[in-house]
Structure 1
Amino acid sequence: MDDMKLGAWKKKMMHYNETPFKDGVTARQSIWRKNKATLWYYQAPVRKYNVPIFIIYSLINQPFILDMISGGSTIEALVKKGFDVYMIDFGKPGLEDRDMTLDNFITEYIQRGVKEAIKHSGAKEMTIFGYCLGGTLAAMYASIAKEPIKNLVLFVTPVDFNTPSYFDKWVKVLREDNWDSSRYMDELGIIPASHVEAGIRMVTSPIYFTPYLSLLLNRDNKAYVDKWHKFNTWTKGHIPLTSGVAKQIIEDFTKDNKLIKNESKINGEGAMLSNINANLLVVGTEGDRLVPLDHILPVMDKVGSVDKTSHILTGGHTGTSVENGRLPGYLDNWLHERSEPADS
């Protein structure tokens, strides 16, 4: 690439880096707000199913990846298929939210959001989608839910933290020496997004530069560059963690592994996976460095669900659930068989 082309390309990338990608490609409306959170509603052009879908995304990444690119949007594919979709967007916590815990997110935002979605839709039952840590929250919520949950779909969701997939020496010290990690988090109050990103990079660093090589190889392909930039914007758009959440993750998950042991509590109530009776679909990927299969699949033996299925994909942590603008066959068929048709 000569100097003139390189200069033009750098200028283009600087423009991209100033461009936000938050609104998505699917029409939506806000139906409820609390603090920083928004409950979004995506209406199906033609509603074909009476069981809406409620999406819970991770606490450390922004959910706009689910509706970022036309033809590659999970939400777009769902509404085109005939599902009304609701998604809780937690927003970005501030220092005033430092004491918020997983209990708060589950009862005050997720459970309240599901109630609002049921009231708004008039539906008798709901399907819950949970992604990564959002799936962990979804499973915990489902274990205490009084609301009617028909289906629960967990994508790359960690539930068993017994075997560390990274930072194993740190975890060993934490467990064996009863090391107190709370002082650092209490001092900060909010774990900055830069700290969250640094932690992720420490896990993925061996392959982190590969996307930039792909970008250079496809620099003259505008469609590829646009898609690459949107995805890269998402990967760098981490969300700060409240110290309350960070401490609870370390103590309850990393240190004591309470969830898979049926020892977790939400506001004093037992959050036992055995309480989950919804139809269950668990999705993992073979190449996931962040959430390997041995963190995901043990949930299959712990839930009370009679109808439970696991599906393993190839690829990494951010493997797509959309194929050529459509839901993949395994998900399409699973939902169709377990979602009441609107004309029935």
Structure 2
Amino acid sequence: MTPLLDVFFDYQKMAWQETFRMQERMLNMAKVPKIAGNVQIAHSPHDVVYEEDALQLLRFRNDSVDLAEPILICYALVNRPYILDLESRRSVVRQLLKRGFEVYLIDWGIPTAADRSLRLKDYVCGFLKNVVDFVCEDADSPQVNLLGYCMGGTMSTMFTALYQSQVRNLILMAAPIDFDDNGGLLNLWTREEHFDVDGLIDAFGNCPGSFLQSTFQLRDPIQNFVAKYQSFYEKLDDEDFLENYFAMEHWANDNIPIAGETFREFVKKLYQRNELIKGEFRLNGKLVRLSEITCPLLMLVADRDDLVPAASTLAIEKYVRSKDVQAMSIDAGHIGLAVGSRSHRQLWPNVAMWIADRSTNR
């Protein structure tokens, strides 16, 4: 057989394979609405054990707790926290439960127009402080392991600097700490000469969830408006992929606003002035000194994170007085750090072990 015929038959084989796959996709299309309608999120059983205004504190059920200090997860004020328990196979919560921790998760709720005046001091020195006090009493422990994700990591850092005695270990997950120009698009877009945050908040009261979603999508328009749907078509015959796709879409479109004055303060004092790193940031009249952080510190970063570049999180090591500091990284993006299959194979078992090694056995 000549090389030309070899090429011809190879292409013919590929054409038949693609035709067959296309038929499989078309046949599976009838199942898509059912899969989308039956998507399951937040799998792990839990109870609401504390409420304050819109905030709810979830305690996950665990019959095998063998570590004294509980883990309190402080999620961001953006989107909803069930991304950390989105699917049973890719659940940060389940990784921690399996290791023997009592796990609590803050759901900040949805701010209303009446909440527009809430500031960072209300979240950190008010709500978060009250939650930590409750968890310590509920778990009969003087300290918590505090895990903060994204903006929740920034708030967890502030809390630990102010209330170090209540934090056993601090775990920062893709947390923006140094807001200097470190390659992130948000650092560029939020510069004072580009973004009139006063005009936005004065007009809307709270920062609209739709504005935040559009901003996140425009960071990577090809992926979010083209490649994502191409992948959807290519894998119409893969039901596992479809279940994950619709779960992620449900979460990504479950946008919530941010209290106006909190958003204004976060942009102006952190993104634009970088006050936390400079040692100039105050909460409730108190200077937030990163040097007051002395507990073991674990930094979790994603190599392809274009929302919070790794350098923004890792910068904190130069300012704290913790003797036990470690960083773990994974080849993933900002959300993949929480839900990526690679993260759950390679990262989270090590994270759970790191925290356990620095906690007290019951």
Q: Structure 2 length as normaliser, TM-score?
A: 0.86
The 2-side partners of 1:40 and 1:299 are apart by 29
User: Aligned letter for 1:212?
Assistant: Y
1:25–1:76 contact (8 Å) kept in structure 2 = no
The 2-side partners of 1:121 and 1:304 are apart by 28
Give the 3-state SS of the residue equivalent to 2:56 in structure 1.
strand
Structure 2 partner of 1:276 = 293
Offset of residue 206 of structure 1: 3.3
1:288–1:316 contact (8 Å) kept in structure 2 = yes
Structure 1 partner of 2:12 = none
Identical-residue share of aligned pairs (%): 24
Structure 2 partner of 1:221 = 238
| Structure richer in helix, relative to its length | 2
1:174–1:255 contact (8 Å) kept in structure 2 = no
2:28–2:236 contact (8 Å) kept in structure 1 = no
Aligned pair partner of 2:325 in 265, 289, 308: 308
Q: Indicate whether 1:165 and 2:184 are aligned.
A: yes
Offset of residue 2 of structure 1: 7.7
5+ long unaligned stretches in structure 1:
none
Give the 3-state SS of the residue equivalent to 1:134 in structure 2.
helix
1:191–1:241 contact (8 Å) kept in structure 2 = yes
Structure 1 partner of 2:11 = none
Equivalences for residues 285-296 of structure 1 within 5 A: 285-296=302-313
RMSD: 2.5
Offset of residue 180 of structure 1: 5.5
2:69–2:141 contact (8 Å) kept in structure 1 = yes
Offset of residue 27 of structure 1: 1.2
Aligned pair partner of 1:60 in 78, 95, 102: 78
User: Aligned letter for 1:30?
Assistant: V
5+ long unaligned stretches in structure 2:
1-20
Aligned pair partner of 1:240 in 257, 261, 272: 257
Q: Indicate whether 1:197 and 2:197 are aligned.
A: no
User: Aligned letter for 1:309?
Assistant: Q
1:185–1:191 contact (8 Å) kept in structure 2 = yes
1:78–1:327 contact (8 Å) kept in structure 2 = no
Q: Deviations over 1:132-181 (max 9, x none)?
A: 11100110111111652110000001011110622666555539xxx863
Larger radius of gyration: 2
Structure 2 partner of 1:40 = 58
Equivalences for residues 61-100 of structure 1 within 5 A: 61-100=79-118
Structure 2 partner of 1:336 = 356
1:206–1:4 distance in 2 versus 1, CA, 3 Å: closer
Q: Deviations over 1:299-322 (max 9, x none)?
A: 011112111111221111112457
User: Aligned letter for 1:283?
Assistant: L
1:298–1:324 distance in 2 versus 1, CA, 3 Å: closer
Aligned pair partner of 2:276 in 213, 234, 259: 259
The 1-side partners of 2:101 and 2:248 are apart by 25
